[in-house]
Chains A and B, each alone.
Chain A
Amino acid sequence: MSTGIHILLIEDDIKIMNFMSMALKAKGYRLTTANTGNSGILSFCTENPDIVLLDLGLPDKDGVEIITEIRKVSQIPILIVSAREQEKDKIIALDAGANDYVTKPFAMGEFLARVRVMERFTEHGDLTSPQKIFRFEYLTVDCDIRRIFIDETEIHLTPIEYKLLMLLIVNHGKVVTHSQISKEVWGYGETGDSKSIRVFMAGLRRKIEKDSSHPQFITTELGVGYRFIEK
């Protein structure tokens, strides 16, 4: 699946660009690189990539601006690479339209996994043909009949818990922000009741995880949102 996918990498630090390119090429991706924001946008317009990898700390242009400009014309998956650790910057970028993020310094495995998830959101990704039955290890989710099974035992979720689980599963591997959850599950604007989100999420986790202290499926991205693990 990786072969032939065209990635646009916008990163100003040469060494980091080097090892990212090495790793991505080794996985079979086609690569275009740019080391400034403006040249990155130019490349986006001319090279027509499938995925954009964007560093937030570019010297000439604010990362969020670039995201906004790209989003005006395209729904291309954008993975941001941020050195800034503050959740606020990540949330702003995600709300502006980025799909997921990796925080520097990152391990290669994590980075490549996130890129792989982005493949699903490209035009040719498998998101366009929605699945009916999801199977993750011991967890089976049947969307048609709305039933969930752990091993062979059925478990019962409340309507909200079901919506939460579906939102996470559809986006599995990608982070789902609090505001996304608020909007999709409760239909609120940006600010939902943040307490409820956390309470319901913890409740859902306790129901579907065999050991909620070492969760296999739902991981917490503190201050940002949650992620259903891609296995």
Chain B
Amino acid sequence: MKTNKLNRMNNSKKLKFEMQVKYLICAIVICGISTCLSILLYGMGIGKENTLMIFLVGVLAITVLTKGYLYGFIASVTSLLMFNYFFTEPLHSFAISEVQDFILIALFMLASLICGTMSSNFQRQTEISKQNERTAQLLYNISESFLNLTGVPSIVKNGINYIYEYTGYPCSATLDNSKFDIKEISFTTSDYVADEYKKNKQFTLPIKGIANIFGTITLANVKYPLSDENDMLIKTVVYQMALVLDREFIYNERGRIKLAMESEHLKSTLLRSISHDIRTPLTGIIGASSLILDSYESLDGYSIKKLVSDINEESAWLFHSVQNILDMTRISEGQLIVKKEFEAVDDLINQAVTHVPLLTTTDRLHVVMPEDILLVEIDGRLMVQVLVNLLDNAYKYAGNDSMVELKAFRENEYVVFEVSDNGLGIDEAIKNSLFDGFITLPRNIVDSSRGVGLGLTICKAIVDAHGGKITASNKTDGGAVFRIKLPYDK
């Protein structure tokens, strides 16, 4: 359907010549018919005034069938001459002797001219309407073609190809690479050759969006002045392109802003944790050790031992927190490397359990191993950290007498780890934002809340990075359960 305009131009020249020949033949034939018909009817006794009507009809027919009033005019004159020759006194001559014949002829001329003109105008209007319709359709097609495109290269290529197809001018577009993060910034149609000398035969337009100029479009080998149709087409394409590029730009901006916000979010969580998870154990360590130093003589052996044991315990918490913070920093910088290897679930559980002596020495931990030996492809160190964080969380917040259970089993194509307790359960208000690291609670329960600190946020980040899922819920008979689902394929 879309033929190159150059070809169309060549074709139309040929067409025009053919048309002219057709019209000429048409005119001659119809004049001929009118003349013969008139003579016939005159022979049958119809008056010459009536035969004039036949000529008039002939002229009108010719005007309608041929375009423009050239042939119509020729036909009028020819008809006139025929009428003069065959029907006016003196017969078979071009002289007119009677005045009424002269008046008839004059009126005939006038009538045919008026009718010819009107009919010709009418045709032209129709032509213009059709042309307008075609243009409107074209503009609609341009708009529609941009509608579903995404990606800057395809948008730009679509634009310059349209211009090339319809105007025939080779076209190139150059983009400003500060606006979009793309590799190619220069696009050309197939026969565009950058030509320095013929600058005056180039036509350049900026691609201007709402607030940004995205680049420029240049047409080469342009014949000035540009036809109205071409001018309108080029401008329409460029405006549409700018509109769609605006859309792309805004969409990308939105994505960037979202990422920046998430990064900020992680950073503030990090800071909050550093404050809480480092200061708190340090307070214990500094407090206990300074007490021993200051009051060594007056303290009994039992108290000293207890204080030293506290220092030991707080130090372990501190070490654990530092590990969490390091991992969190890596996550927020996008640098968390997950090195996957096949590990046995048995081994994971063993390793995790050794890191929670507080639970094992007080006999508060119950472990349920999977029935079969299961292998999961994971980063062992990270996954152990997740389990330790969950066990730690349960130890701290489930209440002093609660039992904690670590269970692992296979469920269809998943390996599931469950850390549950029979303690206080999760506050409904924070249940859905436990893993966000962004718990906002009234000040007086900050320290005793389950969600504060990095532990759970890190759990989620690590589990997500393994393609798994972590959820928290309350058990029907009291207590909380944290569930990790990891994909498992044998």
Chain A contact residues, CB within 8 Å of chain B? 85, 87, 105, 194-195, 198-199, 201-203, 205-206, 212-215, 219-223
Contacts and interface: CB of A to CB of B under 8 A. Distances in A.
Given A213-B353, A214-B353, A214-B360, A202 B367 contact: no
Given A105-B319, A199-B375, A222 B353 contact: no
Given A219-B354, A223-B341, A212 B346 contact: yes
Interface residues of B, number: 24
B254 to A, nearest CB: 38
B373 A199 contact: yes
A198 B350 contact: no
9 contacts: A85-B381, A198-B375, A201-B344, A205-B346, A213-B349, A213-B368, A213-B369, A220-B347, A220-B351
A220 B375 contact: no
Contacts of A220: 346-347, 350-351
B348 interface: yes
A54 to B, nearest CB: 22
A87 B337 CA distance: 14
A87 B339 CA distance: 11
Contacts of B343: 198, 222
Contact of B381 (A195, A203, A222): A222
Contacts of B348: 222
B406 to A, nearest CB: 8
Given A213-B369, A220-B347, A222-B347, A198 B381 contact: no
B342 A223 contact: no
A202 B373 contact: yes
A41 to B, nearest CB: 32
A203 B373 contact: yes
Contacts, number: 56
A87 to B, nearest CB: 7
A205 B323 CA distance: 30
A195 B319 CA distance: 31
Contacts of A199: 344, 373, 375
B367 A214 contact: yes
B384 interface: yes
Interface in B362-378: 367-369, 373, 375
A194 B340 CA distance: 12
A195 B384 CA distance: 18
A18 B295 CA distance: 24
Contacts of A195: 342, 375
Contacts of A213: 349-350, 353, 367-369
A221 B344 CA distance: 12
B315 interface: yes
Nearest to B354: A219
A16 B384 CA distance: 28
B455 interface: no
Contacts of B351: 220-222
B380 interface: yes
Contacts of B369: 212-213
A222 B315 contact: no
A219 B315 CA distance: 24
A212 to B, nearest CB: 6
B26 to A, nearest CB: 91
B315 A105 contact: yes
A222 B373 contact: no
B323 to A, nearest CB: 8
B347 A202 contact: yes
Contact of A194 (B315, B342, B354, B381): B342
Given A212-B369, A213-B368, A222-B347, 13 more contacts: A85-B323, A85-B381, A105-B315, A105-B319, A194-B342, A198-B375, A199-B344, A201-B344, A212-B346, A213-B350, A213-B369, A214-B367, A222-B348
Contacts of B319: 105
Interface in B318-353: 319, 323, 341-344, 346-351, 353
B346 A202 contact: yes
Contacts of A221: 351
Contacts of A215: 350
Nearest to A205: B346
Contacts of B344: 198-199, 201-202
List of 3 A-B pairs having minimum Cβ-Cβ separation, nearest first: A213-B367, A220-B347, A198-B344
